[in-house]
Amino acid sequence: MVVPLEMGWRHLLFENRPVEPDVMDAHLPEGLAPDTYDGSAWLSVVPFTNVAVRPKGVPEPLGIRLPELNLRTYVTRDGVPSVYFFTLDAQDVASVLGARIFHHLPYHYARISLEVTDGRVNFRSRRRHPGARPARYEGTYRPSGEPFAAPDDPFGEFLVERYRFYTEAQDGSIRYTDVEHDPWTLYPADADIETNTLLAAHGFAEPDAEPVYYYSPGLDVVASRSKRL
């Protein structure tokens, strides 16, 4: 049994694009259905950094920092709004291997840097995982406008107020993990994304619509052990 994890998620950008529900359904494993907002499924790229990642109960100073980039969508099963991760790219080789073996998560090793200068986040990721399709993501982003509580905003709530995520393990089984955290605080965001090949690497055409950006300074999270569906 793998123990639950504690961590912090910091400096997150949510880059959100509408996708036809039928298109999204074709990319999902059986048993999960696309969740929709304004008639569309949504595909999100999320760059950020994990901080103080550690087994639950271990003192925070012993945790590790782990920059990450993920590609996700929004699904339901048995009426529970959830997240489905297509892929998660991360910097540390040992952490990637541990997440793949013990938590059954589709992590890939990537060279990632995240730096904050004068309130603007500079993020660079280049996948270097053996045998995986190459993927790059480069850009800068920052909060703009006033903060708001995600539960008070219908679209913000749809995107982030979800407390279960699903993944497909290497053996084809579907796994899920429950997470605990406070409600999200979001900001409108300005973003200048220079390179994004993550969608194409996972079989998605570039959506015609312009992305909708949100930023969050982050929150602390407890994640349960991975369970087989």
pLDDT band at 132 (very low <50, low <70, confident <90, very high): confident
Distance CA 3, CA 107 (A): 18
Full-model pTM:
0.94
φ and ψ of 185, to 5 deg:
-110, 130
Q: How many CB atoms lie within 10 A of CB 179?
A: 17
* Location of structure tokens 């903060």: 147
* Location of structure tokens 């407390």: 163
pLDDT of residue 1: 44
Asked if pLDDT for residue 95 goes beyond 80, the answer is no
Residues 169, 175, 180, CA angle at the centre, nearest 5°? 130
**Mean pLDDT, to the nearest integer, of 97-126?**
84
Is residue 207 classed exposed, middle or buried when 0-12, 13-18 and 19+ CB atoms within 10 A define those classes? Answer: middle
Closest CA to 155 of 18, 10, 8: 18
* Six token digits for residue 29: 């494993």
Say if strands 227-228 and 174-180 run parallel, antiparallel, or are unpaired.
antiparallel
Sign of the four-CA dihedral 87, 123, 36, 152: positive
* Location of structure tokens 């100073």: 61
| CATH number for the domain harbouring residue 123 | 2.40.400.10
* Location of structure tokens 């694009």: 17
For 45-69, the pLDDT digits (tens) are 999 999 999 999 999 999 999 999 9
pLDDT band at 116 (very low <50, low <70, confident <90, very high): very high
Q: Which domain holds residue 21?
A: 5-228
* Location of structure tokens 């407890």: 222
Closest CA to 108 of 140, 86, 124: 86
Number of independent structural domains in the chain: 1
